[in-house]
Chains A and B, each alone.
Chain A
């Protein structure tokens, strides 16, 4: 599924004294089955852009199309529906729910879909097995190390088998060894046919051979857009 951004703008606190233009006219095409990295200084608008692509928020103006569908004007219900079928999110702070077990955390996004329990459990266990977490399935998430928590977050992002994975600063809480490991996992995802969208200012990420394309941002605009081969 092709993601197409057309003159996207995002203004925070519009009309107030602290009005701030975070994204200022971005047009971009993100091809399916590629790993794209958004790179840029802090405050350049990477997270803001990512959350609009992932249907977590809406642009102030401009058009976002997802495959054939224009998503920028859709009401919240539809956005949620698209979000949970199309996107998997890996957050910088992992955002696991404390007190619940690894397995429960992973299955969480599938609950509103009413997937049959057996099938859901099977899939969750196969994901855990794939990411080497089987041993931890019943542990509460607060016991996990940073790397483990990250892999749990990846499993959770994968549970609804989304086409597109979105990762915001996924390596910010990891050391360089774990960061390289993470890029290995991204490569696996890519090989299995997923579209991956990462933001980062970590050279381990944007210099990694796994990345197909780096989009550099500055002050809410695209500064440089180059494919990596």
Chain B
């Protein structure tokens, strides 16, 4: 047993000095390999993070949103509708919401304006998303102005900047008091944008939605599950793009491994011959080459994965900016919660290390079973 370990140590020693011997070639190899792992791992971590972010957001959103429809279009919701709904069994909370959009010429972007009665804002105070704070260089205590619907300008003091866990959607948000909101956006007293209802038991949601449409025939209930589905299809599209990237990377990897497989140099072949002639078994040669491939692919895998991890979780996935852009108009700074998913790591490992190992070991095996007497010539 100790003999076996000593042997493996010798083989590893030999492998290391072999790798050093062809320093540039092996460094190049390591670099390409690491880069491919990096791209693949980034895509995987990124899409996964994006999905779980969306999940977090939706967790907090209400089960049912009720919109009023006039001539097939989304219209303002009269406040009496809240009473008209009355008591519906299973509904634990119902509330009118005020929200809308504001186009800012200065930054050429859309803000999402929302009334937040529960935040305790005075009529001259706002809370803004981090994206707005960034593009307008605003800090707490600074002032921001909005043009109202009737051409007046109102100035607000920034009381707080949203530092949400998921900046993905809060980036472009402006929260203000109800009065300020109505004054700026011109929705008169007695109207809301929509009504949200919280339901205790998720299984009752569709039944409740049915009751609502009976009671208020000119409204449309939107269920969280439906939103989830919409989100999902948006993500699917985004994933499509990242999938193209992924496919590209895999292709590059296959070409790279193929090249490696077909290109056992004459020098390498001769070396294998020498080793066999001086008393190495086919198995010893394979062992040694196995270590060689293992050292390269493991270090590439770890370096690549680590780099991807840093890139996605600490570098805001900067390389994926074009994919993320257009999520909100203001590019959100993306700080997902770091995670490592064992299954994902295993998948990635399987798709990179395994084909590489196979691709390299086959030609070596072919070379190592040839008769050792060839080195005598």
Q: Which residues of A contact B (CB under 8 A)?
A: 47, 50-51, 56-57, 76-77, 80-81, 83-84, 89, 91-92, 95, 97-100, 104, 108-117, 156, 160, 168
* Chief secondary structure at chain A's binding surface: helix
B275 within 8 A of A: yes
Chain B window 203-222, contacts with chain A (Cβ cutoff 8 Å), 1 for yes, 0 for no: 00000000000000000000
Given that A80-B281, A108-B278 are known contacts, is A56 also in contact with B371, CB under 8 Å in the complex? yes
Q: Tell me whether A111 and B21 are in contact in the complex, defined as CB-CB below 8 angstroms, given that A56-B371, A77-B281, A156-B278 are known contacts.
A: no
CB contacts (< 8 Å) of A99 on chain B: these are: 17-18, 21-22
Distance A160 CA – B278 CA, assembled complex (angstroms)? 10
The docked-state distance in angstroms from the alpha carbon of A105 to that of B281 is 17
Q: Which residues of A contact B280 (CB under 8 A)?
A: 80, 84, 109, 111-112
User: With A and B bound together, what is the CA distance between A171 and B186 in angstroms?
Assistant: 103
Q: CA of A47 to CA of B377 in the docked complex: distance in angstroms? A: 8
**Is A116 touching B6 in the complex (CB atoms < 8 A)?**
yes
Nearest CB to that of A160 among chain B residues?
Answer: B279
Closest 10 CB pairs of A and B: A84-B279, A99-B21, A114-B7, A114-B3, A111-B10, A51-B373, A56-B373, A114-B6, A109-B278, A57-B373
B367 to chain A, nearest CB (A): 15
Q: Which residue of chain B lies nearest to A109 when distances are taken between CB atoms in the complex?
A: B278
* Cα–Cα distance between A99 and B275 once the two chains are bound (Å): 15
B277 CB–A CB distance under 8 Å: yes
Contacts of B274 in A (CB 8 A): 95, 97
| A63→B161 CA distance, assembly (Å) | 91
* Interface contacts beyond A56-B277, A56-B371, A114-B4: sample of 7 additional A-B pairs, CB < 8 Å, sorted by A: A76-B282, A95-B277, A97-B271, A99-B22, A108-B275, A109-B280, A117-B6
- Set of chain B residues within 8 Å of A116, measured between Cβ atoms: 6
Return 11 A-B CB contacts under 8 Å, by A number. A56-B371, A56-B373, A57-B371, A80-B282, A81-B281, A89-B278, A98-B21, A99-B21, A108-B278, A114-B5, A117-B9
Note all chain B residues with C-beta closer than 8 A to A104: 14, 17
The answer to whether B278 touches A115, judged by C-beta atoms less than 8 angstroms apart, is no
